[in-house]
Amino acid sequence: MTATEPQAETDERPIGFGRLLRKEDPRLIRGMGNFVDDIQLPGMLHLAILRSPMAHARIVSIDKSAAEAHPKVVAVITGEDLAAQGLAWMPTLSNDVQAVLATDKVRFQHQEVAFVVAEDRYSARDALELIIVDYEWIDPVIDVRKAMDADTPVIRDDLDDKTDNHIFDWETGDAAETEAIFASADVVVSEEIIYPRVHPAPMETCGCVADVERVSGQLTLWSTTQAPHAHRTVYALVAGLPEHKIRVIAPDIGGGFGNKVPIYPGYVCAIVASLVIGKPVKWMEDRTENLVSTGFARDYVMQGEIAATKEGKILAVRTNVLADHGAFNGVAAPVKYPAGFFGVFTGSYDLEAAYCKMQAVYTNKAPGGVAYACSFRITEAVYLVERIVDCLAYELDMDPAELRLKNFIQPDQFPYETKTGWVYDSGDYEPAMRKAMEMAGYDELRREQAEKREKGELMGIGLAFFTEAVGAGPRKDMDILGLGMADGCELRIHPTGKAVVRLSVKTQGQGHETTFAQIVAEEIGIPPEDIEVIHGDTDNTPFGLGTYGSRSTPVSGAAAALVTRKVRDKAQIIASGMLEVSVADLEWNKGSFSVKGDPEKSVTIQDIAMKAHGAGDLPDGIEGGLEAQICYNPENLTYPFGAYICVVDIDPGTAVVKVRRFIAVDDCGTQINPMIIEGQVHGGLADGVGMAMMEMISFDEDGNCLGGSLMDYLIPTALETPDWETGHTVTPSPHHPIGAKGIGESATVGSPPAVVNAIVDALKPYGIRHADMPLTPSRVWETMQGNHTPPI
């Protein structure tokens, strides 16, 4: 598409961008990785957490004497014990507080109540059974729609003067302007659209090993964290430990998807235990603990409205959202963005007005809210707009592709400021849409569908077009707990021309060790195999906010490119001395400088590296060494986009949905490693099939979590997922040094509406305009019978 399209797709060992096989593979594929649970330290003890069986109850008493008497138990700690040290509560990433261990009452089922430290994991679990807790039942608040009712119990009576379950009200856009357009529009469509509670469920659960060295007071924490530096600062603030005495190491991580952004009570418990006992302590949660207590995602009840002309020009979108945040507001989002980046619910369309009003409430459910590759709530925003646009297409009896094409923001409108104040940096939507339609054979699919409908067969074609806002973010208005969302990067070229680059971000499987070596290689011409990528260790990397919200490439990738350019600038000065010409007379040939007009006179970056560290004079004012460090503050977010088409067949007799095909065209700007990009897209597409058709964390009326195992919380397997058909366009970001935009969450954002739109489209003969996820066979069946019920 453009000059930045990778040239090296066929090159097996590109020096720079291209399909480079992963540097991290050799250890991981041989089982030689080093995950948190693989860590064994001499004298290490094991921690297990006692959790509440009830969703809402006062703690009357806790008798831990029998547990303490267990021969292999070293310590049993309750909330009261922690309170004595001022450690019973910790801050959440949204400036709320969360109980490390419950003191007064429990506020969700499986909340942390006490912990045991024992000589081995089995004994620690045994001893949990010996702790006797007397609870006094309180009616739980489970139905989010009733959370603000007058007679509802107040969940957060720990907060001063709290008399209801309200967390915040938030709005964006212009209410009056939007109302005026709605009042006079030809067509108005309204629909309640629910994005149920789901869970990232990475294959590796969360855990840590805490090791406090008694004499120096040094804490080393091996932890399943996507944000080691941010976590270190929070530990310093919570535990009162001096920050320079804390080292957080994120070793190999078995998937994150946002689940490993928050700080969980288990981490704090392990730190406290090691501090008190003076030995290393491991805490590794089991799968149930992961599903029932750690960062969930979504849980938005959205009333969506769209206004349009009868010809299909979309004029405005409006939404009223009820957000279930669980028992503690643990949302991980920039402070000024309590609803994350939900403000991009205007989608990829040129609107005249938009307005969103939101209320967030507490319920007796696990805390969290921003996770599962959601790009800070863009999953919810894109689902809302792409679903409501399809509802409009249904009402206008218009093809949903045609409706979208008619309303796209046009290329000459970029940078485009939306009606909710977001400045989309770049975009070229129609080619991506056309490409997806061409790959799908869209017109032929519609013909096939018409024929099948004649015969009573159910086939659906679903489209979704999304724009994301990723790469948070400019520090002028984005921070988490006061920490600006910039990222550092350090590059050192050793005398022999080998390099080490240190990142503040951290892979959980995305392949940073490969991608970042390629960024440096592209900029300085050192082969990627000669570049070591160090990350996930606060003692050995510069400060930065970590990997989530698809921010590694937009923020840290920019830092890596710019730090390399800084080193290259110095290398050019040294080269000018070596070649005895002025700096301006040199030209760069990806790996060497040569004299303009005399290419024979050249020095390689390796020659320069040796000179920088060697004997002899350097040009005036130039210090020895060849290294640099920077901190990159993005000037804007980046805005990846994509067009997705899903084709489904539904068995009219059983309501079983089969995803026949899925076509995904993504535009993440400049592509660093197309192979890794495809992998990121494939994974997100499977997420979309999972959420649309299988996944939901649900509760009974007493607050019992019904999704506490992988037999109850279903995630897609190789059988439910089709062969993904991927394509791309390239529209580089104008403000990113290499034009890259981020790809980590695009498919998770874009695929759920495509799948749901396909299923609803298949059910059109039944007069169905909308159906809520998860569209399991039973829920599809009920919908076909006219008995569709909201999932929450």
Partner 1 sequence: MTDTPTPALRVDPGGRIGVSMTVNGTAISTDVEVRRTLADVLRDDLDLTGTHVGCEHGVCGACTVAVDGQPVRACLLLAVQVDGTEITTIEGLANPDGSLGPLQQAFHDAHGFQCAFCAPGVLITTASLLETNPTPTRDEIKAELSGNLCRCTGYHSIIESVETAVRLTAAGAKSTDGGDEEASNA
Instruction: State how far the Cα of 306 lies from the Cα of 318, in Å rounded to an integer.
Output: 6
Among 684, 727, 737, 752, binds partner 1 (CB under 8 A): 684
User: Quick check: helix, strand or coil at residue 789?
Assistant: coil
Which of 196, 460, 484, 509 touches partner 1 by CB under 8 A?
509
Q: Is residue 512 a contact partner of residue 489, using CB atoms and an 8 Å limit?
A: no
Specify the stretch interacting with partner 1 by CB under 8 A; choose among 27-35, 102-110, 338-346, 759-767: 27-35
The answer to whether 21 contacts partner 1 (rule: CB under 8 A) is yes
Scored b (16 or more CB within 10 A) or e, 356-368 reads bebbbbbbbbbbb
CB of 512 to partner 1, least distance (A): 11
Question: Whole-angstrom Cα distance, residue 471 to residue 733?
Answer: 11
Shortest Å distance, C-beta 33 to partner 1: 6
Please provide the DSSP assignment of 358-400 as one string.
Answer: EEEE--SS--EES-SS-TTTHHHHHHHHHHHHHHHHHHHT--H
User: Angle of helix 400-407 relative to helix 429-440, nearest 10 degrees?
Assistant: 160
Shortest Å distance, C-beta 23 to partner 1: 11
Question: By CB under 8 A, what part of segment 186-245 binds partner 1?
Answer: 200-205
DSSP secondary structure letter of residue 258: T
Residue 35 found at the interface with partner 1 (CB under 8 A):
yes
Please, which residue, 196 or 202, has the CB nearer to partner 1?
202
Among 293, 510, 547, 592, binds partner 1 (CB under 8 A): 510
Q: Does 255 bind partner 1 (CB under 8 A)?
A: yes
Measured from the CB atom, the residue of 46 and 387 that comes closer to partner 1 is: 46
How many angstroms separate the CA atoms of 677 and 746, rounded? Answer: 10
Q: Total residues contacting partner 1 (rule CB under 8 A)?
A: 55
User: For partner 1, which is the closer residue by CB, 12 or 397?
Assistant: 12
710 counts as binding partner 1 under rule CB under 8 A: yes
Candidates 53, 122, 149, 162; binder of partner 1 (CB under 8 A) is 122
- Contact (CB, 8 A) for 98 and 328: yes
For the chain, what's the residue count? 792
Residues 284-313 touching partner 1, rule: CB under 8 A, are: 286-287
Q: Is 25 in the site for partner 1 (CB under 8 A)?
A: yes
719 scored as a contact of partner 1 (CB under 8 A): yes
HSE toward the beta carbon, residue 344, CA cutoff 13 A: 30
Binding of partner 1 at residue 497 (CB under 8 A)?
no
- Which stretch in 101-109, 212-220, 474-482, 679-687 sits in contact with partner 1 by CB under 8 A? 679-687
* Cα distance between residue 205 and residue 299, in whole Å: 22
Q: Per rule CB under 8 A, is residue 10 in the interface with partner 1?
A: no
Scanning residues 649 to 678, which ones bind partner 1 (CB under 8 A)? Answer: 675-676, 678
User: Which of 7, 85, 709, 785 is the binder for partner 1 (CB under 8 A)?
Assistant: 709
**Alpha carbons 615 and 372: distance in angstroms, whole number:** 53
User: Which of 22, 247, 406, 566 touches partner 1 (CB under 8 A)?
Assistant: 22
Least spacing, CB of residue 56 vs partner 1, in Å: 27
**Nearby residues of 42 by Cβ (< 8 Å), 6 or more positions away:** 280
Confirm or reject binding of residue 44 to partner 1 (CB under 8 A): no
- Taking the complex as a whole, the smallest distance from the CB of residue 678 to partner 1 amounts, in Å, to 8
Residue 685 is inside which H or E element, if any?
A: helix 674-693
Q: What are phi and psi of 377, to 5 degrees?
A: 75, 10
In this complex, which beta carbon is closest to partner 1, that of residue 370 or of residue 586?
A: 370
- Comparison of 81 and 649: residue with beta carbon closer to partner 1: 649
Cβ 708 to partner 1 shortest distance, Å: 10
Residue with Cβ nearer partner 1 (130 or 630): 130
CA-nearest of 468, 465, 562, 469 to 520 is: 562
Q: What is the DSSP letter of 555?
A: I
Name the strand (E) or helix (H) holding 586.
Answer: strand 586-588
Instruction: Name the CA radius of gyration of the chain, rounded.
Output: 27
Q: Which two tokens stand for residue 145?
A: 């729609």
Residue 679 interacts with partner 1 (CB under 8 A): yes or no = yes
Query: In terms of CB distance, is 220 or 288 closer to partner 1?
Result: 288
| Cα–Cα distance for residue pair 173/180, rounded to 1 Å | 13
| Calpha distance 686→721 (Å, rounded) | 6
Number of Cβ within 10 Å of residue 529's Cβ equals 13
Q: How far is the CB of 680 from partner 1 (least distance, A)?
A: 8
Residues in contact with partner 1 by the rule CB under 8 A:
21-22, 25-26, 28-35, 37-38, 40, 121-122, 200-205, 252-255, 257, 286-287, 508-511, 675-676, 678-679, 681-687, 709-711, 715, 717-719, 721, 723-724
